[in-house]
Amino acid sequence: MEITKFDIEGPLLIKPRVFHDERGYFYESFNESTFKNLGLDFKFVQDNQSNSSKNVLRGLHYQLPPYDQGKLVRVVKGSVRDIAVDIRRISPTFGQYISIDLTAESNTIFWIPPGFAHGFLSLEDDTLFMYKCTNLYHKESECGIIWNDPELNINWGIANPIVSDKDLELATFNNLDSRF
């Protein structure tokens, strides 16, 4: 596996070793021992999957401590623009974000640690997105930031995405409920 770090401490881009032959390909999307050997000691307790049409935007979501989640995300089919916003108030990169395009063809995996709001925009119809979580979903701890927050000024690459009513009611970054 090849690990790439970002200017924002914590998130990682993971490129697994992919074995191709005439039948197709094979790779390990997660192997506890391999990850531990790379210094990535995560315990996952929940797997999630979503299917989205093109231009569907989900997020930006996070959970408050002690129910905060780290997420190991990847695209199985299609492609997404994935966003992770640093909401750790003591971080020198508080309010900064990482934007990365993930595709099924690249097989890349994105680690988003606790302390980040997360969202993604589906770039193709029938995009299948999977993620492992380090904590269970806890409705009472669920929070979020509106996708088009003017202070964050995230370049999603789209003016009018398809957003759920619930996500349209999320708070602005200035009204962030962050206990990180």
Residue 37 has pLDDT above 90, yes or no: no
Catalytically annotated residue among 61, 62, 97, 118 = 61
Domain contains 100: yes
Q: How deeply is 152 buried, as exposed, middle or buried, from its count of CB atoms within 10 A (0-12, 13-18, 19+)?
A: buried
Looking up tokens 């669920």 gives 142
CATH label of the domain that carries residue 13: 2.60.120.10
Domain of 111 in residue numbering reads as 2-175
φ/ψ of residue 168, rounded to 5: -70, -15
| 31: number of Cβ within 10 Å | 13
User: Would residue 61 show up in a list of annotated catalytic residues for this protein?
Assistant: yes
Domain contains 146: yes
User: Would residue 131 show up in a list of annotated catalytic residues for this protein?
Assistant: yes
pLDDT tens track for 134-144: 999 999 999 99
Average pLDDT over the chain, rounded to an integer? 95
Domain contains 180: no
If one counts the domains in the chain, the total is 1
Catalytically annotated residue among 27, 131, 137, 138 = 131
pLDDT tens track for 59-99: 999 999 999 999 999 999 999 999 999 999 999 999 999 99
State the pLDDT at residue 178.
66
pLDDT tens track for 106-120: 999 999 999 999 999
